[in-house]
Chain A
Amino acid sequence: MRDWPIKRKLTAIFLLISGLVLVLTSAAFVTYQVVTFRQTMRSNLATRAQILAANSTAALAFANEADAREILSALKYDPHMVAAALYDRDGRVLATYPVAASADLIPAAPQPDGYRFEGARLVGFTPVAQGANQRLGTLYIASDTKAVSDALRLSGIIAIVVLAIALLAAYALAAALQGRISAPILALAETATAASTRQDYSLRAPKFGEDELGTLTDAFNQMLGRIEEQKQELQQHATRLEQRVAERTEELEHRNEALRRNAAELLAANNELDAFAYSVSHDLRAPLRSIDGFSQVLLEDYATQLGDAGRDSLQRVRAASQRMATLIDDLLKLARVTRAEMRTERVDLSGMARDIVVDIQRTTPDRQVEFAIAPGLEAQGDSRLLRVVLDNLLRNGWKYTGKQPQPRVEFAAVDENGGRVFVVRDNGAGFDMRYADKLFGVFQRLHSAAEFEGTGVGLATVRRIITRHGGRIWAEGAVDKGATFYFTL
Chain B
Amino acid sequence: MNPGKILLVEDNPDDVTLTMRALKSHNITNDVIVAQDGVEAIDYLFGTTGRPAPTDLPAVVLLDLKLPKVNGMEVLQRIRSDERTRLLPVVILTSSDEERDVIDGYSLGANSYVRKPVDFVEFTKAAQQLGLYWLLMNRAPPSPRGP
Contact B120 A282 (CB under 8 A): no
> Which chain B residues lie closer than 8 Å to A281 at the CB level?
95-98
9-residue interface stretch from A157-165, A285-293, A302-310? A285-293
Contact B15 A289 (CB under 8 A): yes
Residue in B18, B98, B99 whose CB lies within 8 Å of A293 = B18
Contact A282 B15 (CB under 8 A): no
> Which residues from 87 to 106 on chain B have a C-beta closer than 8 Å to any C-beta of chain A?
94-100
Q: Is the interface of A mostly helix, strand, loop or mixed?
A: helix
A386 to chain B minimum Cβ distance, whole angstroms, is 17
A289 and B15 alpha carbons, distance in the complex (Å): 8
Chain A contact-residue range equals 20 to 34
Does A258 interact with chain B (Cβ within 8 Å)? Answer: no
Contact B95 A286 (CB under 8 A): yes
> Which residues from 21 to 54 on chain B have a C-beta closer than 8 Å to any C-beta of chain A?
21
A175 and B97 alpha carbons, distance in the complex (Å): 110
A277 to chain B minimum Cβ distance, whole angstroms, is 8
A401 and B53 alpha carbons, distance in the complex (Å): 62
Does A56 interact with chain B (Cβ within 8 Å)? Answer: no
Contact A297 B98 (CB under 8 A): no
Contact B96 A325 (CB under 8 A): no
User: Per-residue CB proximity of B76-95 to A under 8 Å, as 1/0?
Assistant: 00000000000000000011
Contacts known (A289-B120, A292-B118); A282 close to B14, Cβ less than 8 A: no
A294 and B117 alpha carbons, distance in the complex (Å): 14
Contact B94 A297 (CB under 8 A): no
> Which chain A residues lie closer than 8 Å to B18 at the CB level?
289-290, 293-294, 297
> Which chain A residues lie closer than 8 Å to B66 at the CB level?
282-283
A66 and B4 alpha carbons, distance in the complex (Å): 200
User: Per-residue CB proximity of B104-120 to A under 8 Å, as 1/0?
Assistant: 00000000000011111
A300 to chain B minimum Cβ distance, whole angstroms, is 8
Contact B95 A296 (CB under 8 A): no
> Which chain A residues lie closer than 8 Å to B117 at the CB level?
289
A288 and B120 alpha carbons, distance in the complex (Å): 10
Does A130 interact with chain B (Cβ within 8 Å)? Answer: no
What is the chain B residue whose CB lies nearest that of A321? B118
Does B65 interact with chain A (Cβ within 8 Å)? Answer: yes
Does A295 interact with chain B (Cβ within 8 Å)? Answer: yes
A307 to chain B minimum Cβ distance, whole angstroms, is 21
B106 to chain A minimum Cβ distance, whole angstroms, is 18
A residues near B (Cβ < 8 Å) are 277-278, 281-283, 285-286, 288-290, 292-297, 318, 321-322, 325, 336
